[in-house]
Amino acid sequence: MVKRFLRTISRLGLLVLLTASSALADTLSVEPDRTQLYQGEVLTLTVKGSMKIDINLNNLFNFDLSQLPSPDIEKVEPDFEILARNQRYSVQTVNNDMVGEITWTYQLAPTRTGTLTIPALTFKDTSSSPVTVEVTDGTPPNQPAAARDSFIELAADKAEVYVQEQLVLTIQLFFSGNLIRGELSEPEHPDAIIEPLGKQREYARYRDGIRYRVVERRYAIFPQQPGELTLPPIRFEGQARDASGQLRFLRDRQELFDVRVKPVPDSYPANQTWLPASQLNLTDEGLPPSGELQAGTNLNRKLTLEAVGLPSEALPALPQAVPDAIRSYPEQPLRNTETTTDGLRSTLQQVAALVPVQSGEAVLPAIRIPWWNTQTDELEYAELPTRRYAIAGGSAVVAAPLSESGPTPDSLPEATVTTPSGAAGVSPWFISSLVLAGLWLATAGLWWYSRKRQAPAHHESHPEDASERQAFAKLKAAIDGLSAQTTGLMVTWARLRFPGQGFVTVEDVIDFSGDPGLAKAVGRFQERLFSNHSPSHGDLVTKELTRCLEDLRNRQAVPTDTAGLPPLYPAGLSH
């Protein structure tokens, strides 16, 4: 009985608002909490509507909450974004008349700077007066920390860079309270390659005696065109609860200063790969600096090019010219890029098996790689000196290695050394060479036959999954446009085409394919992003990569017992 009475009273209160007499004067007022603010701030707009009401019990049990009146707040768009809204009701007696009042509270975020107008809002038969608001670009000067619920700070390690030189951008988001939701944008630019430098960091820091939580992100930016680099503003929007439990809206934006991007200096050697770096070192291992070499011995030379401030794709292939007296069997180059909080560090390693085959003097030419020292702003060279050797032991007959990817010291056949002999007839060294050649041909034949049997059948039909088709089309478009997002899209597509493989990086896709051609095509494509080649070279590179991916796509998906889970998204704010 009591519950029924309470429900009746509740309905009566709402009905009071619904049955207000339209013939009586209604009022509507609009009150912003301020008329001047900065673009990153949030405006609180309070709208109050009041009306004289009559009680009518005829429709007491037939009211509808959706019939409650509200002002046409959508008029404030697109100058303002409506972040949140709420309303409350009250009924009071004024001069023996019952007056109902509804209060709406809106959180508005300005979408542009300048003089903005909140237009006249309509409520029942009355309208409010327009309100003018001044929105200023930037952030409040000398604002007390206690008044700043959240703010963004941006920092770059350089005020100007050369084209394709690394620029490290640091984004710090300061906020107070318990963050419930937050979205922090990432830097982007059509003429720059942008790489995140690891996962975001989270820590606490004091400003003006106020403790803030800080989210820090770092990015390596490589401008691809000279001129002024202007990044769009970094934006943050979120919600947090303060110590009293009240929900607060957080919003801020910050823009980095324009960065001057200088062209390649005129003093840089023509037709050489442009390498702007803070450090660049060239070393080699495996060869004696000079002296005597024995014909037929197996040597392993490893060239290593290390750079600070460049990705490995930007490093040029190292020359590996050898004299006729030495045979060279190079392996596939190995590239590696390491991300640190200070930027990128990269390594290019080229290994080659060298076999002296002819007696006499042999000269390995010097290697000289030009690069631009961004710390001293000067041209420098990474060099290896000329190596001179005396080869002893006559001539050697060496069988070619069987491995497609190049030999290793253990896989190279022992060379047969022949010395001058005055004996007549067939030389035993000649016979052994024939035996080695025969064994090599037999092994090569067996290897070719096994490869042919193991080769996967070519499937004419493409996958029918719509998501996979869309992902592959997006990947091809990125390749054709020489987009820096290509490798990420490649991983996304591979997860759809071959579910359960757990791809995380583009190297995982290459390893799964087992196709050396795909590895070469990806490497050349990434080199093209950092090169100064003509567009015709780019067309050849994109066509080759597309062809390799189409071959991989036609491969039958390998079934797995358990579906692999995608990598966990980094903890913290969303992008």
Residue 414: predicted pLDDT: 43
Q: Is the peptide bond before 78 cis (omega within 30 degrees of 0)?
A: yes
For 341-353, write each residue's pLDDT tens digit: 999 999 999 999 9
Please check the confidence at residue 487 and state whether its pLDDT lies above 70: yes
Residue 531: predicted pLDDT: 65
Name which residue leads in pLDDT, 88 or 222.
222
Instruction: Quote the CA–CA distance of 229 and 262 in Å, as a whole number.
Output: 10
- Residue 564: pLDDT band (50, 70, 90) is very low
Residue 209: predicted pLDDT: 82
Instruction: Quote the CA–CA distance of 151 and 141 in Å, as a whole number.
Output: 12
- Tell me if residue 141 falls in helix, strand or coil: coil
CB atoms closer than 10 angstroms to residue 496: 18
For 106-158, write each residue's pLDDT tens digit: 888 888 889 998 988 887 777 888 899 999 887 666 655 445 788 899 999 99
Name which residue leads in pLDDT, 366 or 500.
366
CB atoms closer than 10 angstroms to residue 298: 19
Query: What residues contact 221, with CB distance under 8 A and at least 6 apart?
Result: 166, 167, 168, 169, 187, 189, 192, 193, 194, 229, 231
Does pTM top 0.75 for this prediction? no
For 291-327, write each residue's pLDDT tens digit: 889 888 889 999 999 999 999 989 999 988 899 999 9
Over 265-307, what HEC string results? CCCCCCCCCCCEECEEEEEEECCCCCEEEECCCCEEEEEEEEE
- Crossing angle for the helix pair 535-553 and 466-480, nearest 10 degrees? 160
145-262, what's its fold?
Answer: Immunoglobulin-like (2.60.40)
Instruction: Identify the DSSP state of 544.
Output: H
CA dist 46 to 86, 110, 376, Å?
Answer: 10, 16, 59
- How does the average pLDDT of the chain come out, rounded? 78
Residue 207: predicted pLDDT: 84
Please check the confidence at residue 159 and state whether its pLDDT lies above 90: yes
Please check the confidence at residue 99 and state whether its pLDDT lies above 50: yes
Widest Cα–Cα separation across the chain:
138
> Which stretch of DSSP H or E encloses residue 223?
strand 210-223
- 512 phi/psi in degrees, rounded to 5: -65, -40
Query: Per-residue pLDDT averaged across 155-173, rounded?
Result: 96
Residue type, 414: E
Can you say how many angstroms the Cα of residue 379 is from the centroid of all Cα atoms in its chain? 31
Please check the confidence at residue 392 and state whether its pLDDT lies above 60: yes
Instruction: Quote the CA–CA distance of 240 and 314 in Å, as a whole number.
Output: 43
Name which residue leads in pLDDT, 561 or 387.
387
Residue 355's closest CA among 392, 390, 327, 322? 327
Whether 145-262 and 2-136 are alike in CATH topology: the answer is: no
Domain boundaries, the chain: 2-136, 145-262, 276-419+427-447, 466-553
Residue 436: predicted pLDDT: 54
2-136, what's its fold?
Answer: Jelly Rolls (2.60.120)
Q: Where are the beta strands (DSSP E) in 365-402?
A: 367-373, 378-384, 387-392, 395-397
* DSSP strand pairing (178-184 vs 167-175): unpaired
Please check the confidence at residue 4 and state whether its pLDDT lies above 60: no
For 513-559, write each residue's pLDDT tens digit: 999 999 888 888 877 777 654 444 557 889 999 999 999 999 866 54
Q: Ranked by mean pLDDT, which of 239-243, 326-330, 390-394 comes out on top?
A: 326-330
For 8-43, write each residue's pLDDT tens digit: 444 444 444 444 443 345 678 888 988 898 877 888
For 450-469, write each residue's pLDDT tens digit: 544 444 444 444 444 688 88
Query: Per-residue pLDDT averaged across 33-61, rounded?
Result: 74
Name which residue leads in pLDDT, 225 or 87.
225
Lowest mean pLDDT: which of 148-152, 196-200, 328-332, 421-425? 421-425
Name which residue leads in pLDDT, 320 or 396.
320
Residue 30: predicted pLDDT: 87
- Residue 423: pLDDT band (50, 70, 90) is very low
For 244-267, write each residue's pLDDT tens digit: 777 778 888 889 999 999 999 999
For residues 26 and 48, the answer to whether their CB atoms sit within 8 Å is no
